[in-house]
Amino acid sequence: MGLALSLSRCKPRLLPFALALVFLLPPLSWAFAQVGGIPHFKQPPLVRIIGAFASVDDPQRSNLQTLSVQVKAQKWKLRIREIKALTANTHSGWGLLKDLFPPHLRLVGPQELLAPLQQSDIAGKPFILEGRLYVGDHMLYVTAVTVNDP
């Protein structure tokens, strides 16, 4: 009997919370539906870079934009002939490079894609890189590599 008496006393206290749930949850669920439900994160831009590596201590001057690049333990100077953003909602590739300060980039990805970039005779050979550019991390996740003979 004491238990039944205490339950009947709790029910009136729960009524405001029950009413709040009934009236607040539908508008909140409508708000989530309007903004797309669960928030999603924007993927980093997909870019294509056309350029060539030069040795870090190469004294030759170039009118091409350059970046210091690291592929695993190897360091290079990357002379960029062209950079293009392949993602529609991204500003130009050159604009993305301006956001890379200091101008340094790490190339990461599957070993089979990075292997041609680690060859000893890669310096001076033009190549095309494609990948996701993580500007804040100074990292390019390589998804495709094409090395051409000069």
Structural domain that includes position 33:
1-39
Statement to judge: residues 50 and 15 lie in one domain: no
Q: How many domains does the chain have?
A: 2
Statement to judge: residues 33 and 84 lie in one domain: no
pLDDT at 2: 46
Rounded-to-integer distance, Cα 119 and Cα 130, Å:
18
pLDDT at 120: 85
Closest-CA residue to 51 (of 81, 74, 77): 81
Statement to judge: residues 7 and 77 lie in one domain: no
pLDDT at 3: 44
Statement to judge: residues 35 and 58 lie in one domain: no
Mode of pairing for the β-strands spanning 74-85 and 46-54:
antiparallel
Statement to judge: residues 33 and 93 lie in one domain: no
Statement to judge: residues 69 and 131 lie in one domain: yes
For the chain of 150 residues, list the mean pLDDT of each consecutive stretch of 10: 47 65 57 52 88 86 86 92 84 80 93 93 94 93 90
